[in-house]
Structure formats: structure tokens, C-alpha cells
Amino acid sequence: GAVVSQHPSRVICKSGTSVKIECRSLDFQATTMFWYRQFPKQSLMLMATSNEGSKATYEQGVEKDKFLINHASLTLSTLTVTSAHPEDSSFYICSARDFKNTEAFFGQGTRLTVV
Amino acid sequence: GENVEQHPSTLSVQEGDSAVIKCTYSDSASNYFPWYKQELGKGPQLIIDIRSNVGEKKDQRIAVTLNKTAKHFSLHITETQPEDSAVYFCAATPNSNSGYALNFGKGTSLLVTP
């Protein structure tokens, strides 16, 4: 089946630094990818919808200048957390839907810890 | 927008018993309803899905039912095993365009005790 690969799986960074998370669709073209954030024991909250070749669409309350999204190709989207703070510590998960199929595939997630 | 409610938030069953998780949705345009299993520290994994043109779908020990009139759908796991222990999420979305994100329920933490 289709696979979405997300890296890194874990990252620890210092406050004020930036962290980039990559999301790749390995065997299908994903014109649209989605970025979610999940706090402990909570559901997945959509942060933004990433469209190949155009600007991402951010959900209400998500700062676009803090969470930079780039979807430069049909198989790669990146999320950069800029000037990270401890409150940004969370589990970030990407997802992609094949335009031929409604099924959404998820990456393995990235555990971000800001110290 | 779509609002998906999921119950119960926690569920504990004995091995071999059945488990049922229920979800309701608000947007009548939604017509794709997947269920995901998430283990600790991992991304969600699709376990079964159903589209609005069918009322029930089964895959071995897992089944999903859909009532479009009442806007609710349910996950049924029979003969539960300890490895079924995880958090389960329901979701809903219109499937006419792959650009639509999934709207998730709050999740059900299932514990299967030996």
C-alpha cells in the first residue's frame, strides 16, 4: 500500500532555534498534504493544508510565520517550526491523500521537544 | 464545518469480548468515514473505512456500520485481543476532492485485558 515517510521521528532542540520536518509520499503523487499536531491524550488537530506549488492554507489560530510549510514537489512537503518555544513541544504528524483515492495515509509522526 | 463526536473516551474489555465505539457527524456532505488505530508514539494506521453508498463493511474481526439518516457510524471489534489495545479515532470527510482534510473524533482509548 501507499506509504508516507516522515523524518525525523524525534528531535530535541533549544528554545529559539528552528526545526524542519519532512514528509514524503513514497509511491504516489500527493497534490495535497496535511499537517496535524497532537498533544498527549488528545486528538489530531489540523494545522494546515499544504498544496503543491502554492501557499499553504492555515487553520484558525495557527501562525503561518511560525509554522512554515513548503510543498515544492508532488512527493515532498516540509514543516519548519521557527523560533521554537517549549509550548511548541508536541507530536507533529503529516498526511497525504492520493488524488486517485480517498484514503489518507499518515507518516510515523515527529516528537518535538523544545528545551 | 464538520463536527465529529466520539464515544466512549475510554473502554476496557476482557480478552475475547467485543468492543463498540460510536461516532456522530454533523455535515451531511460527509461521505467517507475511516477508522484509525494509533499506538503510542506512532502515526495513525487505517484499519477500516466505509463510504456512504454502503451501510456495513467487515474485515475479519473488524466491522463498521453507517447510518446516514441518523449521521452516525460505529466500529465493532469482535474477539478482542490484547494487541487491539490502542487509541482509536473515527473521522469524516467529503471524498469528492482529495484536498479535503479528515475531521477526527477525540479518540477512544481501548484496553483489552487478558
Summarize pLDDT for B50-77 with one digit per residue, the tens.
998 889 999 999 999 999 999 999 999 9
What does the alpha-carbon distance between residue A38 and residue B82 come to, in Å, rounded to a whole number? 25
Neighbour-count burial for A30-55, b at 16+ CB within 10 Å, e otherwise = bbbbbbbbbeeeebbebbbbbbbeee
Minimum Cα–Cα distance from B51: chain A residue:
A102
Query: Best residue in B98, B103, B104, B108 to probe A by mutation, most A CBs within 10 Å?
Result: B98
pLDDT of residue A34: 93
- Give Cα separations from B97 to A58, A102, B31, B61 (angstroms): 18, 8, 11, 30
Rg, chain B, Cα only: 14
Looking at the complex, report in whole angstroms how far the Cα of residue A55 sits from the nearest Cα belonging to chain B.
14
Residue A101 pLDDT class (50, 70, 90 cuts):
low
Residue A53 pLDDT class (50, 70, 90 cuts):
confident
Query: Average per-residue pLDDT in chain A?
Result: 91
Collect all residues of chain A within an 8 Å Cβ-Cβ radius of residue B45: 106
pLDDT of residue A2: 64
pLDDT of residue B105: 96
What does the alpha-carbon distance between residue B2 and residue B4 come to, in Å, rounded to a whole number? 6
Instruction: Kindly report, residue by residue over B75-92, the tens digit of the pLDDT.
Output: 999 999 999 999 999 999
Q: Which residue do the cell numbers 509522526 mark?
A: A109
The residue type at A42: Q
Whether A103 sits inside 8 A of B36 (CB atoms) is: no
Distance from the Cα of residue A73 to its chain's centroid: 15
Q: Which residue do the cell numbers 506509504 mark?
A: A3
Closest CB to B44: pick one of A98, A102, A106. A106
Looking at the complex, report in whole angstroms how far the Cα of residue B99 sits from the nearest Cα belonging to chain A.
6
- Give Cα separations from B60 to A70, B23, B47, B63 (angstroms): 40, 21, 11, 8
Q: Is B36 on the interface with A (CB under 8 A)?
A: yes
Whether A93 sits inside 8 A of B99 (CB atoms) is: no
Whether B105 sits inside 8 A of A46 (CB atoms) is: no
Rg, chain A, Cα only: 13
pLDDT of residue A55: 87
Is the pLDDT reported for residue A100 higher than 90? no
pLDDT of residue B85: 98
Handedness of CA B49, B20, B41, B14 (dihedral sign): negative
Query: Average per-residue pLDDT in chain B?
Result: 93
